[in-house]
Chain A
């Protein structure tokens, strides 16, 4: 397993946000976490990235325990996150945002190679590299956020609601890009409210409800599951 989350409990103040999460992501997979608002999906990703500390439980990258690391250290293990709401650095240029994505990488040639790949993946970013990130459209900002995450050369990319607030046609193209990224060898853990699109893309899925995982299965089975269908796929 590339990423293992074992019996994870997280508190926000006195409120328990996660009650014992278990999940696994294997090398090369696309795994989706589905669930309603407040189910704890983003908290799970933030805890994996080290921005939220667990109260109990462990997170492993391969065999290395990463749950005790500080937020800025986790990305060095090859786990990059594209956070919810994109959170691009609005008053910096596109190029500066990409440079920051590669903050942990010292090898200039490697950065340059990744940058070329990113400009192939998102030609729009190349055109706009001198533009301030805050002046990009929502879809372009999402592309930039993904591109910024990829600049760290991650083994696993954590994607939090990449389709949020985007027009259907853009959602399609973002999901297509995620498939391409995965095909290039990056494992993907995806959090989505757009369950149907996510399950079509993913190999496996987990369903979360109020801080717990209630269901896990292959994507095609989840798509056919009547309960999932009723709750998350609109009947």
Chain B
């Protein structure tokens, strides 16, 4: 039973990371009906930027490990967010009025560009994150052995999701993002600058992906220029599982996928971990193509 709960927490921590990345896919799909294939690579860039900044030990030396890592995450979020905004300007805005295939090809090109850029800058081999930044201790909570790092990853991703949810649901700009996701033309008639909203989505989504990148680096201790591919794919499955375009759906889908994977690895076989994720994707596409929370209300005309 303890093993089950330990795996549950493990799954939630990994799921939180999936969810953060999935939010980038789902938000961009929401406002542009485009799968940003370069999103996984932005996550990779976040991970490497985090590594490089951490390796100077400047942030953690001045601020201590916990505040230091927090500041690091915010810095990486800002940097990756800016890269996201530039990506949209350069690769997606010029083809927005063109047919959909042009945007898909542009997205694939951006993905190849970014992963090769990472390889050229940081090299093709696995790189290790600076060790012992955060104390590698295991806490005993209600009889469960839980590594501190796992708790921190889970709590950080939940906080980021909470902030995003509040922003999107309760603020004026958040409501405008949802309006643009429904109808660009009607949103413009309201006085909403659709270009600005799309830029904002390309700031927020990649920023969350960058935060996830840093957490993966800290959690697993090593990074590679191809890591965006596998994490991106898992997060994409999570977004489809929750209902692509739906923000709470991406959060739910990410956490659920993480838990299912952890349980599958623990009780079936670790070798089946990825297989289980793809089986879920296939089942969702067959039985509930709109995802768990996708499109509950039909548009009455």
Contacts and interface: CB of A to CB of B under 8 A. Distances in A.
B172 interface: yes
Given A72-B192, A80-B189, A91-B297, A99 B182 contact: no
Interface string B235-259: 0000000000000000000000000
A135 B299 CA distance: 8
A136 B301 CA distance: 10
Nearest to B299: A90
Interface in B165-205: 172, 175-176, 178-179, 182-183, 185-194
A103 B192 contact: yes
Contacts of B296: 91
A96 interface: yes
A40 to B, nearest CB: 17
A99 B175 contact: yes
Nearest to B178: A92
A166 interface: no
Interface string A62-73: 000000001111
A104 B190 CA distance: 7
A141 B300 contact: yes
A81 interface: yes
Given A89-B179, A90-B300, A103 B188 contact: no
Contacts of A75: 189-191
Contact of B297 (A72, A100, A101, A132): A132
Contacts of A165: 301
Interface in A100-124: 100-101, 103-104
Interface in B199-214: none
A100 B300 contact: no
Contact of B191 (A87, A136, A138, A152): A152
A156 B277 CA distance: 55
Contacts of B185: 51, 71, 83, 87
Interface in A142-165: 148, 152, 165
A137 B301 CA distance: 9
B298 interface: yes
Contact of A90 (B176, B189, B190, B297): B297
Contact of B172 (A83, A89, A103): A103
Given A71-B188, A72-B194, A134-B297, A91 B175 contact: no
Contacts of A135: 297, 300
Contacts, number: 84
B191 A103 contact: yes
Nearest to A137: B300
In which size bucket is the chain A interface?
35 or more
Contacts of A90: 182, 297-300
Contacts of B295: 91
A87 B186 CA distance: 6
B300 A72 contact: no
A87 B178 contact: no
A218 interface: no
A92 B175 contact: yes
A47 B178 CA distance: 25
Contacts of A88: 186
A101 B188 CA distance: 10
A85 interface: yes
B191 A89 contact: no
B182 A72 contact: no
Contacts of A51: 185, 188-189
Contacts of B297: 90-91, 132, 134-135
Contacts of A148: 190
A75 B175 CA distance: 18
Contacts of B188: 50-51, 70-72
Contact of B189 (A83, A136, A138): A83
A73 B194 CA distance: 11
B301 A85 contact: yes
A187 interface: no
Interface in A189-211: none
Contact of A72 (B172, B193, B298, B299): B193
A188 to B, nearest CB: 16
Contacts of B194: 71-72
Contact of B182 (A49, A81, A85, A92): A92
B248 to A, nearest CB: 12
Interface of B: 172, 175-176, 178-179, 182-183, 185-194, 295-301
Interface of A: 49-51, 70-73, 75-76, 80-81, 83, 85, 87-92, 96, 99-101, 103-104, 132, 134-138, 141, 148, 152, 165
Given A72-B191, A141-B300, A152-B191, 8 more contacts: A50-B188, A70-B193, A75-B191, A76-B191, A96-B175, A132-B297, A134-B298, A134-B299
13 contacts: A51-B185, A51-B188, A72-B191, A75-B190, A81-B189, A83-B189, A87-B185, A90-B298, A90-B299, A100-B176, A132-B297, A136-B300, A165-B301
